[in-house]
Amino acid sequence: MSVRLTFEPFDPGALLAEFARGRSEVGAVATFTGIARAEAGQTSILELEAYPGFTEREIEKIAMQAKARFGLIDLQVLHRIGQIAPGEPIVFVATAATHRRGAFEACDFLMDYLKSRAPFWKKEHGPGGARWIEPRAQDHADVARWDKETSR
Amino acid sequence: MLLFGRLSDVAGWRERQIDSPFLSALRVRLASDDPALGEALEGPGVQVAVDQMIVRGDTALNAGAEVAFLPPMSGG
C-alpha cells in the first residue's frame, strides 16, 4: 500500500505499468486519474495545499478501510501538491483485487473521499483573480453514499 | 500554530508561535488581535488539529504543541 504526495508531474501510464507488474494472483487492477481542468480559460493554475504528515496519515486511514471493505490486495494513491497546470494529472488511484468489482468500487470510494474529506485545500488562479474551491453539494452526496452502504 | 487554505489568506500569515495554555484561550486571543480571522475560525466546517490529531471542543495545550486550523477540505 502506498500513499504519497508529490510536487512533480507524473505519468499515469508508467504508474499503472509499475503497479500491475509481476502480479500473478491479482485478477483486476482499476485506476483513476484526475486531471486539472482549464474551466474554459478561467483557471490558469491550480494550487493544492496539504498538511504534510497529517495529510498522508489521514489518507492512509481511509486506504486501510478501503482495503478491508473491498478485499483489496494492494492500492496506491499519488496526489499532486503545489502548482498544477490545466491538463496535468492531479491524482492517481490504483486498486488491485482478485475480481473486478472490488477494484472498481474501491477506486470510486477512494476518489469520493479524496474530493471532500482528505486534508487538501485547492485554489484556482485565473484571469479574474484567485479563489478557494470547497466541495460542492454533489461531492458531499457522493461520499455520503458509502456511509449508507454499510452492509456489504 | 498553523493556518491552512483560505484561513491563511484572511490572516495574512501561515505560521506563528503563540503562548496559550488552552485552545479556547488561543481562539479568544486570535479573535481579539484579528476579528476577521476570529470569525473565519468559527466558520462552518473549520476543524482543529492539535499535534496532528483532530480535536473537538476545548483542550489543554502543552508547550510546543502544534495547533492547526483546517477549513473545509477539497482534493482530487
| ipTM of this complex prediction, to 2 decimal places | 0.92
Residue A116 C-alpha cell reads as 471532500
Closest to A120 (Cβ–Cβ): which among B45, B52, B75?
B75
Chain A residue closest in CA terms to B72: A134
Which residue, chain included where needed, has cell 461531492?
A139
Q: pLDDT tens digits for B1-40?
A: 999 999 999 999 999 999 999 999 999 999 999 999 999 9
- Mean pLDDT for the stretch of residues A72-99: 97
Interface check B70 vs A, CB under 8 A = yes
- CATH architecture of residue range(s) B2-70: Roll (3.10)
pLDDT tens digit sequence for B36-76: 999 999 999 999 999 999 999 999 999 999 999 999 998 88
| Domain boundaries along the sequence of chain A | 2-147
Pairing of strands A129-133, B2-3: unpaired
pTM for the complete prediction? 0.91
State which residue of chain B sits closest to A48, comparing Cα positions. B75
Asked if B9's CB is within 8 angstroms of A54's CB, the reply is no
As assigned by CATH, the class of the A2-147 domain is: alpha beta
CB contact at 8 A, A128 and A40: no
**CA of A116: how far to CAs of A35, A109, A112, A141, B52, in Å?**
16, 11, 7, 10, 19
Please report the beta strands in chain B, taking only residues with DSSP state E, as ranges in sequence order: 2-3, 47-50, 53-55, 67-70
Task: Locate the domains of chain B by residue range.
Answer: 2-70
Strand order in the sheet with A28-35: A2-6, A74-80, A89-97, A28-35
